[in-house]
A and B are shown apart, each in its own frame.
Chain A
Amino acid sequence: MAIIEEPLAIGSGDAVSETVDRPLGDLTRPQISHTWRDWLSTVDHKKIGIMYGAAALFFFVIGGAEALLIRLQLATPNGTLLSPDVYNQVFTMHGVTMIFLVAMPMAAAFANYLLPLQIGARDVAFPRLNALSFWVFLFGGLFLNSAWLLGGGADGGWFNYAPNSTVTFSPSHGIDFYALGLQITGIASLMSAINLITTVLNMRPKGMTMFRMPVFTWMNLVVQFLLLFAVPVISVALFELTFDRLFDANFFNTEAGADPLLWQHLFWIFGHPEVYILILPSFGIVSEVIPVFSRKPIFGYSFMVFSGIAIGFMGWGVWAHHMFVSGIGPISVAAFSLSTMFIAVPTGVKILNWLATIWGGRLRFTTAMLFAVGVVSMFTIGGLSGVTHSIAPADTQQTDTYYIVAHFYYVIFGGTLLGFFAGFYFWWPKMFGYMLNERVGKWNFWLQIVGFNLTFGPMHILGLQGMSRRIDSYDKGFGFELWNLVATVGAFIIAASVALFLVNIAISRRQWKAAGSPNPGPDPWDSRSLEWMTASPTPEHNFDEEIEVEGLDEFWHRKYGYDENHHVVRIATAEEVAQDGSNTNVHLPSPSYFPILLAAGFPIIAYGLIFSLWLCIPGAALLVYGMVGWIFEHPDDPNAAHGHDHDHDDDDPDAIESGGEEEDQGELVVAGATTETEA
């Protein structure tokens, strides 16, 4: 029953545990418990996914508050709520927060939680590395936002063009926080990408071929590859910027002969794949939600997968469309104009395939379905305005105006964020064991869609009327007054809808408790993929036994068959097919404190680089301690911490030692346990 391919089974815990009994300075390896401390040491991909989601929501509230400040400032001409200096910090931090600390980790939340489940795996390939990714991301995000308390946030825009980002033009420490903070979160993204790619490639159970994986898994696999190649580029640029600002390295100092377009190329070679990093997870969610609530399989599975891959590849060849007016040569402009135009083709295929999926279906407009269908139409607007920018001559009028702002909000809000909301409502029962209230959910959706269109729809008009981006105020008389006011009203409607979502979490939970905590069952939506084939909420060990997969939508095919007229007939209930999660004899990787300890070293080093190099020493020491401890940490005890309902004495070190010497490991080797020692 090992959920693992043969080569990885080599080198299970035995060898290490025999040679290293009690490594120097080791912490007692914690056991799975159910206290708050467990969250600090967990290596469970589901808990890590939930923590990613919670952190992203936390930063979403911060970024949202910044958005409201921006809209209040721009509600009327010559706004005076924020000074120009503060405004520049607020819009910069809003963008950085929403992209790096909300959209990316929220996608990571879904990917972490669902990827192993959707392919039928026990956990990710490297559970401790997964925990490390999360903690590094969280500390990076907190570090970035701590700039507000230590002299002000970055003020150069999320794109942070050189040479406006050099000390001469931005003397505060804001941009140092930006450069170092994003390097830290970049480390998290890279580790997570390696982990999830390995998981998807190596940890699929028998029969789960690549082309039997759900579209969501596919889209996230593409995203992880994009991250793997894109993040190093921005990391190099940020590293150079850091050295420029702290040690006069002169990478971007034009007075010393640098060419400021270097930064633009580096930034956008990362920045455009980044756009697809933000949107593809949401495409994946929509591709899961729409078939379930249409009672039809996804239309053109292979077109969906290959268009996603095509977007991933083509996404590397369009970056300079952000630079059409920067003075790159006319031939370059023409080439990137064409490549950008044609990336609309695979995107269009996705839209039409979703429409073909709902066509002739039996549509049930649950909140999740509403949000998913909302993505299809709202993203279409964003895609179409994207085509208008790809026309380089038109872009010379549009770039850096609110028309661009409108475009990317229809993509990132109308696509990514609405997709996440679809995902919340869809997978909530699987993650937390209770359903979100559908009535409140529908209010949530309609408020969201109305607020969203009121906020960002008018920005198309404002942009075409010539309103520039990133301006802290505008004068009367240019025709900007009305639509800015409408946009501000819309922004508060969005805020109300997000608040309603948070309220929905609370009241749904209360209603559920009041009703005696009924279990929603493994499969409340009559779904298709493997994550619904186990109990809700997902048991700690995911699946009681390995699922042998025979086709796409495996779970659905176990529930339904066809009669002689090729009509769908039910052959089994979900409860009959799904596993009940009762197996307690599963060996899970033990938790570890080293990921959080190691991660804590990064922000300390970063503070040291900004304020006093001496501080780098304890930071680096913590980092090294974390690494060494990690390497020599006791391997898992196959008898300890098995399953979710053991009553093991967590703090008894003897239990670990004696456990390590027990011999029954051979038949219990599972994914997490064996790879753990190599992570």
Chain B
Amino acid sequence: MTPISPAIRKALRLLAVVVVAFVLASCADDAELDTLGEQLAGPEARDIGSFMTWILWICYLVFAIVLGITLYAWKNFRIKTDDYEEGDWPEQVHGNTTAELAWTAAPAILLAVVAVFTLGLHSSLNSTDDNAISLVVGEETVAWEPEVVVVGQQWWWEYQYHFGDVDLVAKRVENLPAADLTTATQMVIPVGMEIELEITSRDVIHSHWIPSLNGKRDAVPGRQSAPWKIQADEPGVYFGQCTEFCGLSHSRMRMQVIALPMDQFQAWVTAQMEGVALDAADQAYVDALVAGDTPTPENSTQRAIATFRGKCASCHLMENVADDLWSSERVAEQLVSGVAPNLTHFSSRTTFAGGIRNVWDPDTGLFNANDVRSWLQNPESIKANYTEPVSEGDSRMRGMPNLGLSTQEIDDLVALLESTGPKPSPEIITETGVE
């Protein structure tokens, strides 16, 4: 019929140029979650990435063949007429069994080759090795085969560390032994070591994914992941995102992995095993409260401690400040997941609010008091939560409600949270920036 006009041809050529320009422009992007390319930092992710790159080239080739044949046919076999009676009839070929068998066999053979490599990579991803390291935990030195329990709940990740030789197969997370250490939204690992992950969930299905280190694995309630692992070859910050749709704030459920050299990891463990460090007067204030007295708070820290114990401690644990008030039964009455982030070392972390806000400003290196303040004023303004009662007779919530804190209470709490420390290193804080 009508051939493509020169104008359209010109437009198509222009379009092609624009597309190529866009592709080149996008390559320059700093994509923290990229699954191919330079910033892959773990052996698993790199193996997958390079295999995938090969496969993509095969795909480009196959597509080029199909498109090439189509365009060749277009150019050479086209009849430019509106008259359906016009033109001759080509030879009526009904098929060619040899050719058809050949192009049935060819892709089958190609795929068989791909399958062999696939199975090899698949089995290496699903193997684990024994690599116990010795770690000083509290007073004693333990042999620890790095293993972290990863627990998803709406809409944040919890990481449990069980040091020593502990059996971590329990199906339901509530049946696991008490963890030595618990963090939220951020997993800290020693660099250059294979870390086994036991991934599970307390409510709906989530998926744990640190693209720079390895593929993802679902967090399924009532199940633990078959062995899954990550490894970072370089110290640094690696970003992740929940990738199984998990409800209202699925897009705001993120996490970071911080890989530290062994000595820094040991220091991190040591610090995390302690409660919040208070000065003598504040410690005495806490001790009095724990003993059942009602002393009057005399400074910002003491006011914050009082507020925390009154309004936060029914869900959040802060050791040496309010651990006497915390019980899992109490949390379970208020939250569907039955758990809220442990805030003991809040400011040792890089991220909060389900992993979407920085605790420390990556540009200035200062405590991100503004975002912490907004969060305390109204969590909804940062992250959608479900704070209506679930149903009649079930008043549990999913996410953090607005507690109606006064400006004074918020200022005090912000200062307390900033002091929980220890602050991450400046390099780590800088790396949490994504611009």
* Chain A residues engaging chain B, CB cutoff 8 angstroms: 83-85, 88, 155-157, 161, 163-164, 167-171, 254, 257-261, 294-297, 299-303, 325-330, 333-334, 337-338, 341-342, 344-346, 348-349, 351-353, 355-356, 358-366, 373, 376-377, 380-381, 384-385, 387-388, 391-401, 438-439, 442, 446, 450, 461, 464-479, 482-483, 486, 524-526, 560, 562, 566-568
Contacts and interface: CB of A to CB of B under 8 A. Distances in A.
A365 B390 contact: no
A393 B94 contact: no
Contact of B47 (A328, A361, A381, A393): A393
Interface string B232-243: 000000010111
A659 B390 CA distance: 63
A392 B118 contact: yes
Contacts of B178: none
Contact of B15 (A400, A450, A465, A476): A450
26 contacts: A83-B384, A164-B204, A168-B336, A169-B398, A260-B222, A296-B93, A297-B94, A326-B205, A334-B119, A344-B111, A348-B103, A349-B103, A352-B103, A355-B69, A363-B73, A364-B78, A364-B79, A381-B63, A387-B55, A396-B216, A400-B207, A400-B244, A468-B250, A470-B245, A471-B241, A477-B433
A301 B355 CA distance: 56
Given A358-B77, A363-B74, A393-B118, A468 B35 contact: no
Given A300-B100, A373-B74, A467-B33, 16 more contacts: A83-B384, A168-B391, A171-B388, A260-B223, A327-B217, A341-B115, A388-B56, A393-B121, A397-B211, A399-B243, A442-B2, A464-B34, A468-B241, A468-B242, A470-B251, A476-B435
Contacts of B181: none
Contacts of B73: 355, 358-359, 361, 363
A353 B100 contact: yes
Interface string B122-135: 11011000000000
A299 B250 contact: no
A361 B356 CA distance: 58
Nearest to B56: A388
Nearest to B248: A84
Contacts of A363: 73-74, 77-79
Given A84-B251, A88-B247, A296-B90, A333 B122 contact: yes
Interface in B203-227: 203-205, 207, 209, 211, 214-218, 220-226
A24 B49 CA distance: 72
A360 B204 contact: no
B52 interface: yes
B89 A397 contact: no
Contacts of A325: 207, 215-218
Which among B2, B55, B122 has the highest number of chain A CB atoms within 10 Å? B122
B95 A397 contact: no
A439 B203 CA distance: 56
A157 B78 CA distance: 45
Contacts of A83: 384
Contacts of B103: 348-349, 352
B90 A295 contact: yes
Nearest to A573: B85
B118 A337 contact: yes
B411 interface: no
Nearest to B246: A164
Contacts of A377: 63, 66-67, 70
A459 B218 CA distance: 23
B273 to A, nearest CB: 31
Contact of A397 (B35, B56, B94, B99): B35
A401 B74 CA distance: 35
B94 A301 contact: yes
Contact of B250 (A355, A362, A438, A470): A470
Contact of A398 (B32, B35, B203, B205): B35
A465 B249 CA distance: 21
A161 B205 CA distance: 8
Interface stretch (B23-31, B290-298, B312-320, B400-408): B23-31
Contacts of A164: 204-205, 245-247
B99 A356 contact: yes
Nearest to A353: B100
B126 A351 contact: no
B32 A478 contact: yes
A326 B108 CA distance: 28
Interface in B235-273: 239, 241-252
Contacts of B66: 351, 355, 376-377, 380
A300 B25 CA distance: 45
A301 B104 contact: no
B51 interface: yes
B111 A391 contact: no
B363 interface: no
Contacts of A384: 59, 62-63
A364 B81 contact: yes
Contacts of A567: 88-89
A358 B216 contact: no
Given A260-B221, A330-B123, A469-B243, A300 B34 contact: no
A365 B125 contact: no
Contacts of A401: 35, 243
A465 B225 CA distance: 25
B77 A373 contact: no
Contact of B35 (A338, A450, A466, A568): A466
B114 interface: yes
B394 interface: yes
Contacts of B87: 295, 362
Given A360-B77, A396-B214, A388 B246 contact: no
A171 to B, nearest CB: 6
A157 B259 CA distance: 35
Listed from nearest, the 4 A-B pairs whose CB atoms lie closest are A396-B215, A466-B33, A477-B434, A471-B251
A330 B122 contact: yes
B92 A568 contact: yes
A360 B90 contact: yes
A194 to B, nearest CB: 33
B167 interface: no
A394 B55 contact: yes
A170 B70 CA distance: 49
A471 B241 CA distance: 10
A303 B95 contact: yes
Contacts of A361: 73, 77, 90
B345 to A, nearest CB: 25
Nearest to B85: A526
A373 B73 CA distance: 11
A327 B218 contact: yes
B66 to A, nearest CB: 5
Contact of A85 (B85, B209, B248): B248
Nearest to A398: B35
A15 B384 CA distance: 67
A393 B51 contact: yes
Most chain-A Cβ atoms within 10 A of its Cβ — which of B73, B114, B125, B336?
A: B73
A249 to B, nearest CB: 16
Given A254-B222, A363-B73, A465 B31 contact: yes
A434 B24 CA distance: 47
Contacts of B221: 163, 254, 260
A299 B26 contact: no
Contacts of B81: 364
Identify which of A167, A446, A468 gathers the most chain B CB atoms within 10 Å of its CB.
Answer: A468
A541 to B, nearest CB: 27
Contacts of A366: 1
B34 A466 contact: yes
Contacts of A446: 8
Contact of B52 (A167, A329, A388): A388
| Residue in A260, A327, A353, A568 with the greatest tally of chain B CB atoms within 10 Å | A327
B243 A400 contact: yes
A365 B90 contact: no
Given A296-B92, A568-B92, A355 B70 contact: yes
